[in-house]
Amino acid sequence: MRPIGSTGLRVPPLGFGAFKIGRNQGVKYPTPYDLPDDATVNRLLNSVLDLGCTLIDTAPAYGLSEQRIGNAIAHRRDEYVLSTKVGETFIDGQSTFDFSADGVRRSLERSLSQLKTTVLDIVLIHSNGDDLQIQQQTDTVTILRDFRSRGLIRAIGMSGKTIEGAELALEWADVLMVEYHLQNTSHSAAIQQAADAGVAVFVKKGLSSGQLDPADSIRFVLSQPGVTSLIVGGLNFDHFRANWQVTQLCRPDSAPVG
Question: Domain ranges in the chain?
Answer: 2-254
The rounded distance, in Å, linking the Cα atoms of 187 and 196 is 14
Strand-strand pairing, 2-3 and 10-11? antiparallel
What local confidence, expressed as pLDDT, does residue 30 receive? 83
What local confidence, expressed as pLDDT, does residue 131 receive? 98
The answer to whether 95 and 127 are in contact (CB under 8 A) is no
Q: Which residues of the chain have pLDDT under 70?
A: 251-258
What local confidence, expressed as pLDDT, does residue 215 receive? 95
What local confidence, expressed as pLDDT, does residue 6 receive? 87
Task: Tell the CATH topology of 2-254.
Answer: TIM Barrel (3.20.20)
Element (H, E) at 215: helix 214-222
What local confidence, expressed as pLDDT, does residue 256 receive? 42
Compute CA distances 128 → 82, 151, 186, 213, whole Å: 22, 27, 18, 28
The rounded distance, in Å, linking the Cα atoms of 235 and 238 is 9
What local confidence, expressed as pLDDT, does residue 254 receive? 43
Element (H, E) at 82: strand 81-86
Q: Counting beta carbons within 10 angstroms of the beta carbon of residue 156, is it exposed (0 to 12), middle (13 to 18) or buried (19 or more)?
A: buried
